[in-house]
Structure 1
């Protein structure tokens, strides 16, 4: 079967967030899918198979190297890009993905370029700062919230603090959360409105994720409320870096970004 590697939330190769995309002909064993994802060694691998029902065109599932996850933005973008790029999906029409835990997700070619993904918004609810969070990040935290999917959002002083952050990865991993989103408003005159970084914690393994679509389901409503605008652009300031355009639409958020295929081959196992 066909296997691709796609860099998501970027317009150039070797930037953004890479995801594996496996194009299935029919149902597959979840144990086998988990083994494929472990072999690929990307933060997520997407598995896509065609459907014939009226509500969705494809089934979409996401696996890290360790577990299946309920939502992954960059691997959804990568999957849609792969389907359009290989001719499996018709160009210039929406793709509807049925997922196990996030309902039907729609991806549409965006008028200004890239692909627009319709996701559920996941606004963070303010909480008391978890013990050890500031120490783990190595900087003071100004505001803390938790999302419905288990991420902690930590607002810090400014964009420079986000960009230069050097957290204690082991301490971050020990925090009770799927991951920790660190964010601040952008510098004056920047080509984006806010910056962020995402560090995996207990649920997903450790390390830093290059560009995290699901985190922007929380960042979009958070910054829309603070900046007074529903349409914003975020920059995730990892080493690879990537831009995510966001638009809040009630309880949904549209995430838009580009993608580039860097590998296209055949999975033989």
Structure 2
């Protein structure tokens, strides 16, 4: 599946195994390491009566309790395979982080951002590690926050989108970082923000387009600035054209949406 782009093969890929029932943890991890994608997912029967299916999400380096683009890619694949949601246009995914709603609006899928497990400003020592890894000065950081909804994310806000695009991070000394950078475009631009996401802690140097990061950053910005609807560009430095739509409903739920396209469909021997 290609996720978060209107142009196939320019978003973020995820491998979806539609029936993972007979696979153990080691087999799932081998497949994820072999695909070498940022994530691979395995669909299973749900254990909760409210859920339509259960998903396990693996990076090349380990399992995640939740991730964004694998959620949308898995929902698309499940629907394409004949899945019928119990609640009409609301698909309910069960994952290690709990139940996650996915909203279907025509061809657009959006997931409801899960609650963050950790928030608040970064500790001085951790922030210093991020600044050193990014090769920037402290005055370039407008704001910073823990935005962890499972993978361990943190984020720093830089003055402009170009500052984000110009980053040449050296993560060799901080291999456990799970961090993003966001910067604003000028008013009137096609996108409100540019995002980049670095995840060496799970074996992914830079994630092309990251739904979970955008979800929790959307919650943070909505909470602190009141911004409720905007579009994000991500992946330019990797030759991608990621597009993420963030919206907040009247209940305060942040929804993260984007395009989903099936690029390969067939049989895997595992």
Q: Give yes or no for TM over 0.5.
A: yes
What's the offset of the Cα at 1:121? 3.9
What's the offset of the Cα at 1:29? 1.1
The answer to whether residue 105 in structure 2 is matched with residue 107 in structure 1 is no
| Aligned counterparts of 2:223 and 2:253: Cα–Cα separation in 1 | 14
Aligned to 1:194: 193
User: 1:230 pairs with 228, 232, 235, which one?
Assistant: 228
Residues 112 and 255 in structure 2, CA contact (< 8 A), matched pair in contact too = yes
> Helix, strand or coil: the match of 2:167?
coil
Output the TM-score relative to the length of structure 1. 0.87
| Aligned counterparts of 1:138 and 1:95: Cα–Cα separation in 2 | 42
> Helix, strand or coil: the match of 1:120?
coil
User: 1:63 pairs with 33, 41, 58, which one?
Assistant: 58
The answer to whether residue 242 in structure 2 is matched with residue 242 in structure 1 is yes
Output the TM-score relative to the length of structure 2. 0.86
* Structure 1: runs of 5 or more not aligned: 1-5
Residues 120 and 251 in structure 1, CA contact (< 8 A), matched pair in contact too = no
| Aligned counterparts of 1:34 and 1:228: Cα–Cα separation in 2 | 40
Alignment of 1:208-219 (within 5 A): 208-219=206-217
> Helix, strand or coil: the match of 1:266?
coil
| Aligned counterparts of 1:245 and 1:121: Cα–Cα separation in 2 | 18
Deviations 1:80-107 (A, max 9, x none): 111122324469632211112x111121
* Structure 2: runs of 5 or more not aligned: none
Aligned to 2:147: 147
What's the offset of the Cα at 1:261? 1.1
155 and 222 in structure 1: CA distance in 2 versus 1, 3 angstrom threshold? same
Deviations 1:123-162 (A, max 9, x none): 7411244223222112232322223342221111211101
| Aligned counterparts of 2:254 and 2:173: Cα–Cα separation in 1 | 31
What's the offset of the Cα at 1:11? 1.7
Higher strand share: 1
34 and 218 in structure 1: CA distance in 2 versus 1, 3 angstrom threshold? same
Deviations 1:181-204 (A, max 9, x none): 101122222122222100113x31
What's the offset of the Cα at 1:206? 4.3
User: 1:94 pairs with 90, 107, 110, which one?
Assistant: 90
Aligned to 2:129: 132
Alignment of 1:49-88 (within 5 A): 49-51=44-46, 54-88=49-83
| Aligned counterparts of 2:2 and 2:44: Cα–Cα separation in 1 | 20
Residues 121 and 252 in structure 1, CA contact (< 8 A), matched pair in contact too = no
